[in-house]
């Protein structure tokens, strides 16, 4: 292994061990840095200190011509900047060649959501068979607490305080937070616990043979239940999170509380839901205000 690739591997290990990055995030960083390493090797460079800013910019422009999305390009540039900041800290470079990279502006896409009626239709899974009890708990919890699918798959019964109605989850960067659990989700979890006779170290929601559900397992269950419940939109775990956040913000207007619930490090990430809320307000205004109605 060359010195260039070895430095990349050290950086990825730092992200994994010290920052607790998720497997999928690490894969994205690895792909971004592999592209950079391939270009550096093709240029015959022996050390990262030899890479110039214009060479990094040329590579990013090449990736743009290969039709990579603006979001991917911005993530790629960010990964490169973080990598060279790491190398500077280790004394391997004195200048960050990725610092001034220009990438396409990212047009933020408003998140998809289910409305309150659609969500009620989805989560009220009928039946008392084991699968219905399990899926009802899964759906109610995702919607109640706005969990990421990785957070849901990682929680154990010891993380659940039924008395306080709270759940301790570990999110991005291994950060722990306490989230509230609504009354419907509490009832669904109580039924699940009675059915499965779970121990403290058991997964909160289990799949086959008592193993923790995988993210793909959660997605499959959501898709199946959406079809059975007559929801014909594409339903996926993050849609439940988006819907939870949007409905909370629409009802309360408390952006900081929604940020805390979701575990967003930066409130600008949460602010996308204010745009969604305004979009809803604009539709209501156009339909209801006498001076806003369009002429036929």
Range with the poorest average pLDDT among 13-17, 103-107, 125-129, 141-145: 103-107
230 and 121, same structural domain? yes
Query: For 198-204, what is the mean pLDDT?
Result: 85
Q: What is the pLDDT of residue 260?
A: 77
Question: What pLDDT score was predicted for residue 272?
Answer: 63
- Eight-state DSSP code of residue 170: E
Element (H, E) at 178: strand 176-180
258 versus 137: the higher-pLDDT residue is 137
Evaluate whether 33 touches 4 at the Cβ level (below 8 Å). no
What is the chain's mean pLDDT, rounded? 83
Judgement on whether residues 37 and 76 belong to the same structural domain of the protein: yes
Q: How far apart are CA 51 and CA 43, in angstroms?
A: 9
Number of domains in the chain: 2
Q: What is the pLDDT of residue 286?
A: 60
- What's the rounded Cα separation, in Å, for the pair 189 and 182? 11
Report the Cα–Cα distance between both ends of the chain, in Å, rounded. Answer: 70
Q: Phi then psi for 189, rounded to 5 degrees?
A: -70, -35
Indicate which CATH number applies to the domain containing 80.
Answer: 1.10.150
277 & 145 share domain: yes
Residue 293: inside a domain = no
Does one domain contain both 82 and 135? no
Asked if 159 and 200 touch (Cβ cutoff 8 Å), the reply is: no
- 64-73, 82-91, 106-115, 229-238: range with lowest mean pLDDT: 106-115
Q: Are 63 and 140 part of one and the same domain?
A: no
Give me the pLDDT at residue 193, please.
87
What pTM value is reported for the model? 0.62
Regarding whether 134 and 276 lie in a shared domain, the answer is yes
Q: Which domain holds residue 60?
A: 3-89
Query: Strands 176-180 and 160-161, how do they pair?
Result: unpaired
Instruction: List the CATH number of the domain containing 246.
Output: 1.10.443.10
Average pLDDT for residues 145-162, to the nearest whole number? 89
Distance, in Å, from the CA atom of 194 to the CA atom of 198, rounded to the nearest integer, reads 8
Residue 295 has pLDDT above 50, yes or no: no
In a shared domain, residues 184 and 85:
no
Active site residues: 148, 172, 238, 241, 264, 273
């Amino acid at each position: 292994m060359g010195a260039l690739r070895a430095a990349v591997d050290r950086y990825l290990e730092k992200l994994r061990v010290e920052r607790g990055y998720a497997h999928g995030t690490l894969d994205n960083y690895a792909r971004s840095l592999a592209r950079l390493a391939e270009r550096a090797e093709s240029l015959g460079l022996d050390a990262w200190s030899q890479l110039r800013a214009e060479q990094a910019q040329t590579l990013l422009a090449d990736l743009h011509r290969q039709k990579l999305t603006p979001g991917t390009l911005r993530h790629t540039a960010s990964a490169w900047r973080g990598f060279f900041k790491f190398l500077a800290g280790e004394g391997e470079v004195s200048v960050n060649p990725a610092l001034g990279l220009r990438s396409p502006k990212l047009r933020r896409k408003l998140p998809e959501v289910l409305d309150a009626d659609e969500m009620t239709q989805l989560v009220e899974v009928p039946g008392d068979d084991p699968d219905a009890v399990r899926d009802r708990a899964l759906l109610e919890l995702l919607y109640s607490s706005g969990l990421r699918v990785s957070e849901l798959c990682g929680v154990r019964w010891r993380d659940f305080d039924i008395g306080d109605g709270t759940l301790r989850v570990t999110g991005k960067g291994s950060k722990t937070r306490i989230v509230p659990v609504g009354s419907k989700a509490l009832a669904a979890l109580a039924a699940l616990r009675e059915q499965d006779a779970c121990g403290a170290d058991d997964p909160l929601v289990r799949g086959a043979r008592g193993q923790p559900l995988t993210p793909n397992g959660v997605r499959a269950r959501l898709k199946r239940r959406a079809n059975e419940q007559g929801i014909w939109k594409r339903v996926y775990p993050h849609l439940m999170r988006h819907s939870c956040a949007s409905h909370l913000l629409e009802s309360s207007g408390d952006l900081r509380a929604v940020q805390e619930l979701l575990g967003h490090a930066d409130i600008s990430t949460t602010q996308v839901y204010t745009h969604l809320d305004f979009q809803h307000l604009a539709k209501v205004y156009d339909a209801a205000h006498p001076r806003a109605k369009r002429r036929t």
